[in-house]
Amino acid sequence: MVKVTLKDGTVREYPLRITLAQVAGEISPRLGKEALVASVNGRLVDLAYELTGDAAVQFFTFEDEEGRQAFRHSTAHVLAQAVQRLFPGTRLAIGPAITDGFYYDFDPPRPFSAEDLEKIEKEMQAIVRADFPFQRVELSREEALKKFAQAGETYKVELIKELGDEAVISCYTQGEFTDLCAGPHVPSTGRLKAIKLTSVAGAYWRGDERNKMLQRIYGTSFPKKSQLEEYLYRIEEAKRRDHRRLGAELDLFSIQEEGPGFPFFHPKGMIIRNELEQFWRQEHYRHGYQEIRTPIILSRSLWERSGHWDHYRENMYFTKIDDQDYAIKPMNCPGCILVYRSRLHSYRELPIRMAELGLVHRHELSGVLHGLLRVRCFTQDDAHIFMLPTQVKDEIIGVINLVDYFYKIFGFPYKVELSTKPENAMGSEEIWELATNALKDALHEKGMEYKINEGDGAFYGPKIDFHLEDCLGRTWQCGTIQLDFLMPEKFNLVYIGEDGQKHRPVMIHRVIFGSIERFIGILTEHFAGAFPLWLAPVQVKVLPITHRHLAYAQEVYGRLLKEGFRVELDERSEKVNYKIREAQLQKIPYMLVVGDREAAGGSVSVRHRQGGDLGSVALDRFIELAKREINNKALAPELAKEPKSGIEASAG
């Protein structure tokens, strides 16, 4: 007998060599049906695993991360089986589970087409119906190498060769198909009920563009068809929030063929931009920053000195003036440094925080451009902090706090990453270690969770990155804090210390929004175009019911305009329903319907884009509440908070 300790602490006894599938069935029929994989003493295993001693056992279903991953990974194997059936000679690379599904990289005789996907999907369904069990076999390195070399699976051979000595090499077989795999897998292909292949794309072997480009097939799978349908529906819904679509529908910005990657901001987009910038300025002055502005074109000698000429040239645009070489700035730091250097500074002045809304241009590969989220010119809400070495930690923490304060205003959840020394870096190992540790210390002091991105730092220093999500859950770097000991060296920056001698300051490069353009893109998707009142391009729209009410509507409109609202008046001879529909589609926060009743009482009938008809209220009261909502930068409407009777009671 073996003693099995379950997740809830209960201990049960079972005969020796009982399989986990049997244990699950014993615990409950439902668990027997839904369990996909399990862990034994913390190690993930298949349900076919036989217990040979006392163990702590935990079962995982599709509801658990572990179960879901095994489910998707098993589907990837079925995909590979189908592909090898239909396209003999296709070599296999890797096929992991990802957040919402899985992919598999193939090296086929010819690229896959969209029609191929349908065929493959059909074949996968046949494999699911066949209900092949996934069978695990462990084998020695030699056996594995021989097996895959014979099969011509060169990528697998490469993978096996790289496995560590201690690694257990295992294969999984379903039907006629065998793949190298650590597992675990679900019991059989029949579990994979609902499968959808979503796209084909090129992907370099091991993600390195020097390697061969493989064909990657993406897909997803669920235990139930309804779950798959729900997922596909959710994706469609998410696409409705796409900032590129909303940007056109709400007339915020456009990108034209004449300027790929160079966005045009329309009047309504400019309002959002200007509100963001105004808020940004106010907060930066409050937090001890000064603002500067530096030129967009600067001479080659500056970029040589800063290191950009050597380390960043592929991303830069160049021009000539009077036969001299100039570059269009890809970063603001060299310009800012010139401002710092324009006079001598005392240690008493430090830290000096110089902010700049700087327009930078970077050459990005054509294939990566993406609406406002990846462009070739963008405005960084940049700042460079020059400080004493002793001030480093406090300054970093100050910036972390500022980022947090900003993102909370918008209600953005964010992820933090620490990026370390890249391949083409300037400077010594020691200096990089010093800088990286300073960033780590600050993060630890703040008790923040973060992920490390090896080799992802800027060429002049390591950085802390703040990532936000778009409508499909893809993350984009927005805020960043970069610690830099090198630029001060390159530019021979100094301050005069207490001792009257020259000393070297340390520098931080940082952005909060990151790029105003990208931030607006994220903002648009986050709010699905329904911006909070303080950002909404049009805050209020006045809708007279008939021509008869035009005079009063104009009065309301004029009053709101005078009070500083961004207000529009719909004077067209259309039905109210029509006007409302249009205002709704434009996601205008407040619609004020005015007719006989309102004209008589000096009131307005308030409709909120999300809250619907809120009843009638005195114009003065509406102004008061709307102003409060704007000043608080509220995320939820101020008026809808009041009980309806309260609004009506205050009507004039």
- The stretch near RNA (CB under 7 A) out of 76-84, 146-154, 167-175, 511-519 is 511-519
Per-residue contact flags (x/-) with RNA for residues 287 to 326, judged by CB under 7 A: ----------------------------------------
Q: How far is Cα 294 from Cα 379, in angstroms, rounded to an integer?
A: 12
Q: Is 87 in the site for RNA (CB under 7 A)?
A: no
* Beta bridge pairs of residue 172: 136, 179
Q: How far is the CB of 69 from RNA (least distance, A)?
A: 17
Which of the 8 DSSP states describes residue 221?
Answer: E
Q: Which two tokens stand for residue 453?
A: 């991105």
Bridge partners for 370 per DSSP: 374
Of the pair 517, 638, the CB lying nearest RNA is at 517
The H or E element containing residue 168 is none
Q: Is 74 in the site for RNA (CB under 7 A)?
A: no
- Smallest gap, in angstroms, from Cβ of residue 597 to RNA? 4
509 is catalytic: yes
To the query of whether residue 570 is one of the catalytic residues in this protein, the response is no
Q: Binder to RNA among 119, 370, 440, 503 (CB under 7 A)? A: 370
514/532 with CB nearer RNA: 514
| Segment lying near RNA (by CB under 7 A), choices 34-42, 200-208, 401-409, 560-568 | 200-208
User: 4 vs 377, which CB is nearer to RNA?
Assistant: 377
For RNA, which residue of 223, 371, 398, 505 counts as binding (CB under 7 A)? Answer: 371
Question: Could you tell me the smallest distance in angstroms from the CB atom of residue 518 to RNA?
Answer: 4
Contact status: 576 vs RNA (CB under 7 A): yes
Residue of 174, 215, 380, 482 with catalytic role: 380
Q: Minimum distance between the CB of residue 627 and RNA, rounded to whole angstroms?
A: 21
Residues 324, 418 contacting (CB under 8 angstroms): no
The CA distances from residue 214 to 110, 217, 232, 243, 407, in Å, are: 10, 10, 26, 31, 39
Residue whose CB is less far from RNA, 187 or 335: 335
Q: Is 463 a catalytic residue?
A: yes
Query: Whose structure tokens read 């923490």?
Result: 397
Counting contacts by CB under 7 A, is residue 366 touching RNA?
yes
Residues numbered 426 to 485 that lie near RNA (CB under 7 A) are: 456, 458, 463, 465, 472, 474, 476-480
Q: Is 171 a catalytic residue?
A: no
CB 111, min distance to RNA, A? 4
| Residue of 384, 467, 549, 607 marked active site | 384
The two structure tokens encoding residue 270? 């400019």
Catalytic residue among 46, 242, 381, 382: 382
What minimum distance in Å lies between the beta carbon of 31 and RNA?
35
The CA-CA-CA angle for residues 168, 174, 179, to 5°, reads 45
Question: Can residue 111 be called a binding residue for RNA (CB under 7 A)?
Answer: yes
DSSP state, 313? G
Determine, following the binding rule CB under 7 A, whether residue 643 of this chain makes contact with RNA. Answer: no
114-143 residues in contact with RNA (CB under 7 A) are 114
Beta carbon of residue 598, minimum distance to RNA (angstroms, whole number): 6
- If the CB atoms of residues 302 and 373 are measured against RNA, the closer one turns out to be 373
Q: Are 46 and 134 in contact (CB under 8 A)?
A: yes
DSSP character string of 495-538: EE-TTSSEEPPEEEEEEEEEEHHHHHHHHHHHTTT---TTT-SS
Interface with RNA (CB under 7 A), residue from 607, 622, 623, 647: 607
> Are the beta carbons of 88 and 110 closer than 8 angstroms?
no
Shortest Cβ 77–RNA spacing (Å): 20
Tell me if residue 74 falls in helix, strand or coil: helix
Interface with RNA, residue 422, by CB under 7 A:
yes
Our finding on whether 597 is near RNA (CB under 7 A) is yes
Burial 188-220 (b: 16+ CB within 10 A, else e): bbebbebbbbeebeebebeeeeeeeebbbbbbb
Of 533-552, binders to RNA (CB under 7 A) are: 545-548
Indicate which single residue of 28, 41, 52, 199 sits in contact with RNA (rule: CB under 7 A): 199
Give the chain's count of helices (H) and strands (E): 22, 33
How many residues line the site for RNA (CB under 7 A)?
Answer: 82
Residue 380 known to be catalytic = yes
Q: 111 vs 411, which CB is nearer to RNA?
A: 111
What is the Cα–Cα distance from 398 to 391, expressed in whole angstroms? 11
Among residues 185, 463, 510, 579, which one is catalytic? 463
For residues 233 to 252, the per-residue mask of contacts with RNA, x marking binding by CB under 7 A and - elsewhere, is ---------x-x---x----
Contact 609, 539 (CB under 8 A): no
**What H or E segment, with its residue span, contains residue 25?**
helix 20-27
Q: Which of 156, 191, 273, 362 is catalytic?
A: 362
511 contacts RNA (rule: CB under 7 A): yes
| Contacts with 219 (C-beta within 8 Å, 6 or more apart), sequence order | 75, 76, 79, 101, 102, 103, 195, 196, 197, 198
Q: Is 375 in the site for RNA (CB under 7 A)?
A: yes
368 binds RNA (CB under 7 A): yes
The candidate with the shortest Cα–Cα distance to 585, out of 272, 246, 242, is 246
Handedness of CA 537, 517, 368, 231 (dihedral sign): negative
Q: What residues are paired with 58 via a beta bridge?
A: 39
Closest CA to 621 of 583, 592, 650, 578: 650
Q: How far is the CB of 514 from RNA (least distance, A)?
A: 3
Among all residues, which ones are annotated catalytic? 333, 362, 380, 382, 384, 463, 509
